Amino acid sequence: MKGILFSKAVAAIFFAFLGILILAPGGYGEEFDITCCGSTNNTLLSTSQELVLLGYEGKGISTSNHANKIFDNLTWQVVGMTKVVDGKAHWSEYRKYQDLNGDVFYVELSGVGPEGTYKILNGTGRYKGMKGEAKTKAVARGKPIVPGTGQYCGRAAGTFELAK
């Protein structure tokens, strides 16, 4: 029973990560479209029939699907939590993205199931004062290569604006 619930919780994490985005109508000027792939280490807190709680941390890399290539080859780190109730995964996470120059920006993500929202919070260097938003959806997940881990890809597209 624990194995089945753990598998469901791990699957929920994969669906929770970035995915195909339907562009969110926002007040930001530039578009972005990225695919992110990575791996997480998962900590199972609860495996009851009524409640599954799972924490995770992970790392990965993004590639830009947009002509502007603004977020191409960014590495990222994530911490998050998933709660599965009545078969629905509710998740939230925070990510730190870093470009090749070492400048970073921070993102807050949350959602239910495979879809979610993506909000750019702020950053350093060229990303200082940046704002933006997107919708996300998972695009791929594999069988965990090692127990207690997860591997996935997702896609996000939306709009952003660098500070002036």
User: CA separation (Å) from 125 to 30, 100, 104, 112, 163?
Assistant: 18, 12, 7, 33, 11
- The CATH number that domain 2-161 falls under is 2.40.350.10
Sort 125 into a burial class: Cβ within 10 Å, 0-12 / 13-18 / 19+: exposed
Q: How far is CA 2 from CA 5, 55, 134, in A?
A: 5, 16, 35
Alpha helices in the chain (DSSP H): 2-16
| pTM across the whole model | 0.83
Give 84-140 pLDDT, tens digit per residue. Answer: 998 999 999 999 999 999 999 999 999 999 899 999 999 999 999 999 999 999 999
- Give tens-digit pLDDT for 130-156: 999 999 999 999 999 999 999 999 999
